[in-house]
Homo-oligomer: A and B are copies of this chain.
């Protein structure tokens, strides 16, 4: 799927252009003309012969045949009529289409059927369709604005993708008074054919783009998205705001451990694996856009922040935030309440001339002799003088600082309503800066095993672990005749004993044959009915002391593939949510990082005079589990709960496989 002509067409036809200025098709047509697009522009209208003083055509088929291959068609007519235009495109050899029209999937069953038809046509004729139900696309480099929103013409270094037209139009409007510009703007709409994946792939190749920001509501193909983002993020930042977090809220409320990997957490895990910057809310998103007025993230020098202010209180609050974000304060310069623009200037000059100083936050509140506008001018000129240093500003107050803030915004100085916000945005960039070089491109591992796992039987499941090299606690079916080495543990296992401990189906510390027999009698009596089923039975394991209980497992996500989980085992797992997630393309180093990111890591590694545990063995278990997950797509879920982590070895003590 080449999108070259989609973003850089030689001609644009607007189906639904109208002589009525109120019609969306006409607004789009006008925006394309206003944008300064240099290719040919064809209005298509059944009845009018002239629109906005241009010759109008009654059908796409009337247009010059040689244009079709390199043409973009924008469709803005009622939904039921769209399908015929797409058929026409397919017939004429037109590949690139934007469907602005609403009335599809978002509007009920009939719309859903219409949308499905589009998809099958698109697949058959390999059409690049954006939308339907979208705002359109803007490419400022080519002077193209196919949206019905008024937008700035200035070219810029940011690409903005939005699955919400509303957020898209808010962003376009928000830019207007600022010297921040989009290179590309793409409203994804219903994503019936083209998704964020196709757009990202194409846009990221443009070296004029320094930052890609996307707002997404659903991600159909997480593994593909990870593949694409991980390749892009090695070169330039990609920031994602994903809505729908309340889903997670609902899922976390469930008590089952499997629910620890709720869907929003899975998405976050996947996108962070790919190296994306994770945005928490709209404020985060807009603040990051603001910060990107200067493309400074590649600056690998000193990352300390220097605070210059005429306001002690706000400066203290800023330092609090710097400390909370684990950033470094280079220095705090209190110019006192009677600082005029000159005092700001002389301090800032001295600071900025120092090669160690790269990041300055300037705070101002309007006091008696404060000169907000003149101080803003000082920042603007220093900002020009030091194009490779980051000067951020936070001017607090109301009308006294309005003009100063406007001046800063017009002149590429990132301005924040509150100084703490500047720190939060800066932190996101610093984290990316420190990590992007070590991003390993994601590749979904699809090597399938010849033998399938076809049973969740307990002993067979343990055997599968052994087959993958995971050591297990010696486990045998209970038999009254066998001679065991005591002490032992007796467990009831099988599909009806998924929560053994809570069911009282585990009896530990049985120190002789008599005790074991008694325990077996007790369980056999208690669960008589369940043992009728042959998959439920009793097993015996040796009693193991001196251990730390750990839980590992994976859950297969439809979109993001297998997601591995590692956490503290035992009673505290869910209490402290001590669980980390990771994608299954694991190597030893990342398995170790995963273990180190646990809060309990100091306890595992022997800190504070604690015993140390077989952390390497645990990393190996994770690797082997990842291999199993990648080779057995038939397994939906697998938990090893607990792993007994000992000083010299790690043993799987229990397992649960769901197919």
Asked whether A165 and B502 contact (CB < 8 A) given A283-B417, A575-B602, the answer is no
- In the complex, are the beta carbons of B313 and A610 less than 8 A apart? no
Q: A148's contact among B322, B324, B368, by CB below 8 Å, is which?
A: B368
Number of interface residues of A (CB under 8 A): 79
Given A173-B397, A321-B281, A323-B246, also A164-B367 (CB < 8 A):
no
- Which of A45-53, A398-406, A619-627 has 4 or more CB atoms under 8 Å from chain B? A398-406
Let me know if A333 is at the binding interface, CB within 8 A.
Answer: no
Q: Is A600 an interface residue (CB 8 A)?
A: yes
Residues of B within 8 Å of A177, CB to CB, are 398-399
* Contacts A399-B177, A418-B281, A609-B504 given; does A337 touch B166 at CB 8 Å: yes
A residues 281-336 near B (Cβ < 8 Å) are: 281-283, 286, 309-314, 316-317, 319-324
- Is there a chain B Cβ closer than 8 Å to A608's Cβ? yes
Instruction: Give Cα distance in the complex from A310 to B571, angstroms.
Output: 46
CB closest chain-B residue, reference A336: B102
Q: Distance in Å from the Cβ of A399 to the closest Cβ of chain B? A: 5
Given contacts A312-B164, A368-B148, A418-B281, contact A571 B169 (CB under 8 A): no
- Taken together, the copies of this chain in the complex come to 2
Contact B243 A175 (CB under 8 A): no
A367 near B419 with CB under 8 A, answer: no
User: Which of A166, A250, A320: most chain B Cβ within 10 A?
Assistant: A166
The answer to whether A599 and B571 touch across the interface, beta carbons within 8 angstroms, is no
A27 at the interface (CB under 8 A from B): yes
Evaluate contact between B282 and A317: CB separation under 8 angstroms.
yes
Instruction: Give Cα A318–Cα B164 distance, bound, in whole angstroms.
Output: 14
Cβ of A501 and Cβ of B575 under 8 Å apart? no
Once the chains are docked, how many angstroms separate the CA of A337 from the CA of B322? 40
Q: Is the CB of A367 within 8 A of B166?
A: yes
B interface footprint on A561-604 (CB within 8 Å = 1, 0 otherwise): 00000000001100110100000000000000000000110110
Does A111 make an interface contact (CB < 8 A)?
A: no
Interface residues of A in 145-197 (CB under 8 A from B): 148-149, 162-167, 169-170, 173-178
Q: Does A249 contact B (CB under 8 A)?
A: yes
Q: What CA separation (Å) do A243 and B603 show in the bound complex?
A: 34
Task: Please give the distance in Å from A280's CB to the nearest CB on chain B.
Answer: 9
A170 contacts B320, CB within 8 Å?
no
- Contact between A609 and B502, CB atoms less than 8 A apart: yes
Select one of B175, B314, B501 contacting A609, CB under 8 A.
B501
| Contact call B244/A316, Cβ cutoff below 8 A | yes
Determine if A420 is an interface residue (Cβ-Cβ < 8 Å): yes
Q: In the complex, which residues of chain B have a beta carbon less than 8 angstroms from the beta carbon of A283?
A: 417-418, 420-421
> Which residues of chain B come closer than 8 Å to A365, judged between CB atoms?
166-167, 169-170, 173
7 A-B pairs, CB-CB below 8 angstroms?
A165-B337, A166-B396, A167-B314, A170-B396, A217-B316, A243-B313, A283-B420
16 A-B pairs besides A255-B608, A576-B578 with CB distance below 8 A are A102-B337, A167-B313, A169-B397, A175-B398, A176-B400, A217-B313, A241-B317, A243-B313, A243-B316, A244-B316, A244-B320, A246-B324, A281-B418, A282-B314, A282-B396, A572-B576
